[in-house]
């Protein structure tokens, strides 16, 4: 979090609010307390590793391995099988350049994170994608596609990180977290497990997708927003089926 302290404050406040929402006592820290350094600042910049699926997946595997009876209820794709006691962590190796690293004792190579030092132009996003994604973008441009890739990325973040988790909490949907909605929408976009189509080792899926794939993913997220619980249950069940996971509906009937 070094250099992103304003974002860390937002994270801590969110944790404190959730703690209180659950009815837990909180006598030491209060959200937004300026004296404690918890006053949130406008325009906080998020750290570049936030949303890197390989990083978050590694930590979810660890949680599942340690407490499967608790975290198994969250609908994660991770089972804990890949956890071997080591964690990936983000590290800035030079200005604007980040990697994911394992503990040095593991002697595993670091994994570069593709991060733009300068914000890309909305008319021509700077991103590293798959060959398939570039071909889709070129084909879309040839046919006069007017959908802005940058606008789709913004919609994706708004829907999966804000709109859908909020609706899920209000209406008690079976999945509640941003990464769960991203899993379901990405699987729907590709018609199967999304990481069979995108290399997770290259970083976040959203940074590798062409406009056509991204449009389908955003459309899937919008369907969940508009149709609500019925669509969420149907699409989540389909996602689990593609991954060879047991249906939540069948588990609930036991």
Q: What is the pLDDT of residues 79-99, one digit of tens each?
A: 999 899 999 999 888 766 788
Does residue 165 contact residue 181 with C-beta atoms inside 8 Å? Answer: yes
Q: What global pTM score does this model have?
A: 0.47
Q: What is the pLDDT of residues 206-239, one digit of tens each?
A: 888 888 899 999 999 999 999 999 999 999 999 9
- The DSSP annotation for 125-178 comes to ------HHHHHHHHHHHHTT----HHHHHHHHHHIIIIIHHHHHHHHT-S--SH
Does residue 54 contact residue 98 with C-beta atoms inside 8 Å? Answer: no
pLDDT band (50, 70, 90) for residue 50: confident
Residues 6+ apart with CB under 8 A from 193: 77, 187, 239, 242, 243
Q: What is the pLDDT of residues 132-175, one digit of tens each?
A: 444 544 544 444 343 478 788 888 989 998 999 999 999 999 99
Q: Is the dihedral of CA 196, 199, 200, 203 positive or negative?
A: negative
Across the range 100-127, mean pLDDT stands at 62
| Number of C-beta neighbours around residue 60 at 10 A | 21
């Amino acid at each position: 979090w070094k250099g992103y302290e304003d974002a860390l404050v937002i994270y801590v406040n969110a944790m404190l609010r959730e703690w209180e929402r659950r009815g837990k006592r909180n006598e030491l820290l209060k959200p937004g307390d300026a004296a404690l350094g918890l006053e949130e600042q406008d325009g906080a910049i998020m750290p570049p590793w936030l949303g890197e699926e390989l990083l978050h997946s590694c930590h979810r595997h660890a949680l599942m391995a340690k407490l499967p009876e608790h975290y198994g209820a969250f609908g994660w794709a991770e089972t804990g099988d890949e956890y071997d006691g080591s964690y990936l962590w983000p590290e800035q190796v030079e200005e604007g350049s980040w990697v994911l690293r394992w503990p040095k004792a593991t002697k595993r190579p670091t994994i570069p994170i593709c991060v733009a030092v300068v914000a890309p132009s909305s008319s021509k996003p700077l991103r590293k994608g798959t060959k398939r994604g570039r071909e889709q973008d070129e084909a879309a441009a040839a046919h006069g596609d007017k959908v802005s890739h940058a606008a789709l990325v913004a919609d994706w973040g708004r829907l999966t990180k804000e709109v859908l988790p909020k609706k899920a909490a209000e209406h008690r949907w079976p999945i509640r977290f941003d990464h769960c909605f991203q899993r379901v929408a990405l699987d729907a976009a590709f018609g199967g497990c999304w990481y069979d189509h995108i290399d997770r080792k290259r970083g976040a899926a959203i940074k590798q997708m062409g406009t056509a794939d991204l449009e389908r993913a955003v459309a899937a997220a919008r369907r969940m927003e508009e149709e609500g619980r019925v669509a969420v249950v149907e699409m989540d069940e389909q996602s689990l089926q593609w991954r060879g996971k047991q249906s939540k509906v069948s588990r609930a009937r036991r």
